[in-house]
């Protein structure tokens, strides 16, 4: 069984699992797309990388597809997206390669990683502290996202998510959690008894609730509490770890309701960790999560409690490390993922098939029979009768452009991927 994990490597999770599976004797490659114009990198390692020139993205992605097909992988494990995506997210040709990979008899596993499956309308209903309720606007159109997921359901053999919070948006998915290589995360424990160091890490302040955290920090400092606050942002991961090790209290996020990699890293290091957890989702799977459960309403009071209560900090420090060892050691998580691979490899076919790969693409409706087969509903045109004298209306300029683009896309993929 030969597996490719691609094309993203969020928080180094893909590389970590691939490395462990290879150590277990599995034939697994991990490939990451990186942009040649990237201004910064967190420094996570990758097994293989493909440098995508922004001026030649299509050519770069097609070449990566050709190379991967030449390797004759049995399972394609996609993270966040497939290997071909151009234009606006979840429109036009995104994911076109999946159906063509399936046509070659390969298996496809698709892992959602966050807002690529977190529907804003549903999240606002079920999560009172959702960042969507605090002004965050999704970069994705929800209608397009839902259509894309339905397209995936026609071809993907198994969906995977990383926690119960995401599983609520796609219940048929299997949870394979985030993980850590514990040898890289020694239990250093708390560092300062009297004047604790508080650390908050953020790559997106709106998603993390940073404004509420820093408002609470400022007000507590005005009250005269003695502590030091550090915000970590846009640092190499190795440099950030040094700051984490010197912390006593780590604050992750106030909105998502899940245990993210940063929170797990801090718990593994033996830090008292603050994070918003959806207990209704996590307790059935993991029991009580040993973090200080915080949200925008209580962050100030909860932070004051941890700063002033050393014994409570010590309790969270000990319990947090044990919790990570029990549930999120990469050795155990890799076994869970390998079980998914074997189950998928043993299946005879995909979940379902319901039409040609081009049926999902949102192209304008046409009345010309020559182009009608490209309409998104997939219905074939009604043939003309001998008595039909009415001339078909001329295709508008934009429609002709979209039609030619669809024909070009089909032609490119047939040349590139069909043997």
| Sequence ranges of the domains in the chain | 2-179+333-345, 182-328, 363-417
Q: Residue 174: its pLDDT value, please?
A: 98
Q: Which two tokens stand for residue 34?
A: 């990186």
**Count of other CB atoms within 10 angstroms of residue 196:** 24
Max CA distance (Å), the chain: 93
Cα–Cα distance for residue pair 59/393, rounded to 1 Å: 36
Q: Residue 391: its pLDDT value, please?
A: 46
77 beta partners: 5, 109
182-328 and 2-179+333-345 share a CATH fold = yes
Q: What is the pLDDT of residues 215-272, one digit of tens each?
A: 999 999 999 999 999 999 989 999 999 999 999 999 999 999 999 999 999 999 999 9
pLDDT band with cut points at 50, 70 and 90 for residue 415: low
In sequence order, what are the residues at sequence separation of 6 or more whose Cβ sits closer than 8 angstroms to the Cβ of residue 174? Answer: 158, 159, 160, 161, 340
Task: End-to-end CA distance of the chain: give it in Å, rounded.
Answer: 21
- 2-179+333-345: CATH architecture: 3-Layer(aba) Sandwich (3.40)
Cα–Cα distance for residue pair 416/406, rounded to 1 Å: 15
20: nearest Cα among 341, 344, 289, 345: 341
Q: Does domain 182-328 have CATH number 3.30.43.10?
A: no
Q: What is the pLDDT of residues 85-104, one digit of tens each?
A: 877 777 767 898 998 899 99
Location of structure tokens 């599995």: 26
Q: What is the pLDDT of residues 339-392, one digit of tens each?
A: 999 999 998 754 444 444 444 443 334 444 443 443 344 443 444 444 444 444
Q: What is the mean pLDDT of the chain?
A: 86
The pTM score is 0.82
Four-residue CA torsion sign, 112, 114, 118, 120: negative
29: nearest Cα among 68, 62, 3, 67: 3
220-224: Cβ within 8 A, 24+ apart: 220/300, 220/303, 220/304, 220/307, 223/304
Q: Among 23-37, 133-147, 381-395, which range has the highest average pLDDT?
A: 133-147
Q: Residue 419: its pLDDT value, please?
A: 47
Reduced to 3 states (helix: H, G, I; strand: E, B; else coil), residue 334 is: helix
pLDDT band with cut points at 50, 70 and 90 for residue 130: very high
Q: Residue 348: its pLDDT value, please?
A: 76
Cis peptide before 7 (omega within 30 of 0): yes
């Amino acid at each position: 069984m030969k597996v490719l994990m691609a094309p993203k490597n969020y928080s180094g999770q893909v590389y970590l699992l691939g490395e462990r599976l290879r150590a277990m004797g599995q034939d697994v490659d991990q490939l990451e797309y990186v942009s040649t114009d990237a201004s910064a990198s967190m420094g996570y390692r990758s097994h293989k990388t493909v440098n995508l020139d922004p001026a030649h993205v299509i050519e770069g992605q097609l070449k990566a597809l050709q190379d991967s097909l030449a390797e004759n992988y049995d399972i394609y494990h996609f993270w966040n997206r497939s290997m071909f995506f151009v234009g606006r997210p979840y429109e036009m040709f995104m994911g076109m390669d999946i159906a063509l990979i399936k046509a070659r008899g390969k298996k496809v596993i698709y892992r959602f990683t966050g807002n690529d499956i977190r529907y804003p309308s549903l999240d606002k209903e079920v999560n009172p502290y959702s960042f969507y309720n605090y002004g965050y606007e999704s970069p994705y159109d929800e209608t397009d996202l839902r259509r894309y997921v339905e397209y995936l359901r026609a071809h993907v053999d198994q969906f995977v998510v990383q926690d119960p919070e995401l599983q609520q948006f796609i219940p048929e998915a299997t949870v394979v959690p985030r993980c850590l290589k514990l040898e890289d995360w020694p239990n250093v424990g708390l560092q300062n008894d009297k004047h604790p160091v508080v650390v908050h890490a953020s790559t997106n302040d709106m998603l993390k609730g940073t404004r509420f955290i820093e408002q609470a920090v400022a007000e507590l400092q005005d009250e005269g509490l003695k502590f030091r606050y550090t915000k970590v942002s846009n640092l190499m991961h190795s440099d950030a770890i040094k700051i984490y090790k010197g912390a006593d209290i780590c604050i992750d996020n106030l909105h998502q309701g899940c245990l993210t990699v940063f929170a797990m890293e801090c718990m593994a290091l033996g830090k008292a960790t603050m994070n918003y957890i959806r207990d209704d989702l996590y307790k059935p799977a993991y029991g009580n999560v040993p973090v200080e459960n915080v949200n925008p309403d209580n962050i100030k009071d909860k932070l004051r409690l941890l700063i002033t209560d050393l014994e409570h900090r010590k309790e969270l420090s000990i319990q947090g490390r044990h919790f990570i060892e029990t549930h999120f050691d990469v050795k155990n998580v890799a076994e869970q993922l390998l079980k998914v691979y074997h189950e998928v490899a043993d299946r005879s076919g995909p979940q379902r098939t319901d039409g040609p790969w081009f049926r999902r693409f949102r192209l304008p409706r046409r009345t010309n029979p020559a182009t009608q087969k490209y309409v998104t509903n997939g219905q074939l045109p009604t043939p003309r009768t001998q008595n039909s004298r009415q001339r078909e209306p001329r295709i508008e300029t934009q429609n002709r452009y979209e039609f030619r683009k669809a024909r070009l896309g089909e032609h490119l993929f047939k040349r590139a991927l069909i043997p």
